[in-house]
Amino acid sequence: MNPLIFAGNWKMHLGPVEAAAFLDRFLDSYVPRDDREVWFYTPAVSLSTVAARIAERVGLRVGAQHVHWEAKGAFTGETSVSMAAEAGATSTLIGHSERRHVFGETDEATGAKVRAALAGGLLPMLCVGETLAQRDAGQTLDVVRRQLAVLEGLAPAQLAQVPIAYEPVWAIGTGKNATPADAAAVHTVVRETMAGMGAPRVSVRVLYGGSVKPANVGALVAESEIDGVLVGGASIDADSWLAITGSDRD
């Protein structure tokens, strides 16, 4: 069984000074375990700070929240894969709902970013999920399959390096979340879709994201189809994050 992934997306929170203070608190109490990994997706300005603090710590990794698919060029405000890696990132989020719905990121762009990340040595975590309107229209599985289709053409070994985060848009930051059974049902379809592209089923890791907190994380990761969680707001408070990352399967 793959280790659980507890991934914290700090969004636009915790600059270098606050990030250092957060990690001082977290690392003072966190006890590494063989059955889990803890990933931090930080603002670009905090990547180096976090990478330095967790260096040589077992089971911890830091990632970028966003990268551009081009290696370099006139792209003001963007960060290339090589720049993120140089700052200490070993992974990157791709296709987060906020990138899609606030900044207009397309499926074509997510596909280009996945390939750039793989070529540059970063693990791309591809985020997929439906809006409330799409859910109410019964389109959840069609939307998820369409968003996963950007991975078509990748070799099985490459597909094995792409964790998928299912994050229903209607559950992000709303206090609502899919039931563990609902999330597991979508995760099953994600695995089947990935397997249809050639990914070894045992290698596919699927996380759930959407209003995850200490009170519900145990029930979520107890589902055999859920390999971990992608956490937003609850990941920027050190005590909350300690509670989440220390959770056992119910």
68 in any annotated domain: yes
In a domain, 180, yes or no: yes
pLDDT at residue 214 greater than cutoff 70: yes
Any domain includes 250: no
Single out the catalytic residue among 37, 98, 130, 167: 167
Q: What is the count of structural domains for the chain?
A: 1
pLDDT of residue 126: 98
- From residue 109, give the alpha-carbon distance in Å to each of 68, 70, 116, 143, 197: 9, 11, 10, 16, 20
pLDDT for residue 172 is more than 80: no
CA 122 to chain centre: 13
CA-CA-CA-CA torsion sign (218, 219, 224, 226):
negative
Token pair in block for residue 45: 């300005």
pTM attached to this predicted model? 0.95
pLDDT score at 2: 86
Q: Examine the residue annotation and report whether 167 is marked as an active-site residue of this protein.
A: yes
Q: What is the distance between the alpha carbons of residues 238 and 235, in angstroms, rounded to a whole number?
A: 7
Residue for token pair 């499926």:
107
Tokens standing for residue 108: 């074509």
Span 201-205, mean pLDDT?
A: 88
Is 167 within the bounds of a domain?
A: yes
- On whether residue 46 sits in a domain, the answer given is yes
d(CA 80, CA 67): 5
CATH code assigned at 89: 3.20.20.70
Question: pLDDT for 139-163, tens place per residue?
Answer: 999 999 999 999 999 999 999 999 9
| Domain enclosing residue 43, as ranges | 4-245
Contacts of 203 by beta carbon, 8 Å cutoff, 6+ apart:
2, 159, 160
Q: Of 37, 66, 68, 96, which residue is the catalytic one?
A: 96
**pLDDT on residue 169:** 86
Per the model's pLDDT, the better-predicted residue between 34 and 248 turns out to be 34
pLDDT of residue 250: 60
pLDDT score of 95: 97
Q: Quick check: is 96 catalytic?
A: yes
The answer to the question of residue 143 being in a domain is yes
pLDDT per position as a tens digit, 20-76? 999 999 999 999 999 999 999 999 999 999 999 999 899 999 999 999 999 999 999
pLDDT for 171: 78
In a domain, 121, yes or no: yes
Q: Is residue 11 part of a domain?
A: yes
Letter string b/e over residues 127-163, b meaning 16 or more CB atoms within 10 A of that residue's CB: bbbbbeebbeeeebeebbeebbebbeebeeebbbbbb
pLDDT, tens only, 94-141: 999 999 999 999 999 999 999 999 999 999 999 999 998 899 899 999
